[in-house]
Amino acid sequence: MTSATPGQVMDMGFSIRVADAADRGDVISLCRDSLLAEDTADVDGLTRLLWEAPDGGDALRLVAHVGSRLVGACFGTLGIGSDLAISGSVTLIAVQSDIRRAGIGRALLAELEAQLRMGGATEVSTGAGQPHYWWPGIDVQYQAALEFFGSSGYGKPEEIVNMMVALSRPVVTGPRPGGMEIRRLTTAEAPEFLRWMEMTWGPEWAREVQLALARDPISCHVARENGDYIGFAGYDTNRLGWFGPMGTSPAARGRGVGATLLRCCLRDYLDRGEVECQVAWVGPRDFYRVAVSAQVGRTFVRMRKAMASALPSTALSR
């Protein structure tokens, strides 16, 4: 099939519709055409994110066609945060590389924003749609995407980083604090653990870590003392090769719980033959730098746009 040029696309028009299950293969192919190779390496995780998640909000899925060819996609979520505010997130926006700058991306984004607005969203952000996300923002390597969202009214940029850990036996080996049990989470204790997660760390992290229960082996380690959970560390939750989230109860901090849990997870990576991993969406950079010699890796920019009052959704055709 001969590809259309941007000028030809504008002449012949394109249509936008709600995506359905039959579009899965074409959307993944579009992602492979549009994204960095490392962002499509975990195809199963990406497919699950786009078509099965989220379980805590409404998923919005749009695709664009020129004739019978799927040429663009824009996926987002609508959810309620811990402050009870309704917000939206752009999970993915992609247009076939050979016909960009024909207005397809802007039309898809405008339609998604209209649907988010109709759902009551007061703000929409780029990425970071907890608990299920692929990026915590826009990777700075996607310079065209940063410019696209900036020209579409998105601002208030917030820098977020992943940190890289070079894996080796010395890195994953260290002292273990005494007087507590540190081990892999089990399926049998999942209901109790998830209740603790919900009460201690909130629903977003609880739902994200729940994805670790579907991995084999379960990709979460926990610390318990006197029968109570005092810490957890998960990895491979949303996507393979990304560590996090992790947390230690305030009363147990400073005793090496977090560092031990982190090393348990990194040892799992090393044992399956990995040479590095990414610590996702890092808060305490110094902790990871000291504990496992982590260095700043991928850098992301999260951008936001305030939503005006609800307006009718735009027509799904151009």
Any residues with CB less than 8 A from the CB of 137 and at least 6 apart, and which? 126, 127, 128, 158, 159, 160, 300, 301, 302, 303
| Beta pairing, strands 86-95 & 123-126 | parallel
Model-level pTM?
0.89
- If one compares 277 and 8, the residue with the highest pLDDT of the two is 277
Q: Is the pLDDT of residue 313 over 50?
A: no
Mean pLDDT calculated for residue range 32-37? 96
Residue 96: φ, ψ to 5°: -50, 135
pLDDT-derived band at 2, boundaries 50, 70, 90 = very low
Q: Return d(Cα 266, Cα 165) in angstroms, integer.
A: 9
Annotated domain spans of the chain: 6-135+143-155, 168-274
Fold match, 6-135+143-155 / 168-274:
yes
- Per the document, the length of the chain is 318
How confident is the model at residue 1, as a pLDDT? 40
Query: Tokens 């318990």 appear where?
Result: 224
Beta strands in 109-180 (DSSP E): 123-126, 138-139, 155-166
Burial pattern 273-297, b for ≥16 Cβ within 10 A else e, equals: eeeebbbbbbeeeebbeebbebeeb
Q: Return d(Cα 238, Cα 308) in angstroms, integer.
A: 31
CATH fold of 168-274 reads Aminopeptidase (3.40.630)
Mean pLDDT calculated for residue range 200-227? 95
Q: Is the pLDDT of residue 39 over 70?
A: yes
Q: Which class is 6-135+143-155 in CATH?
A: alpha beta
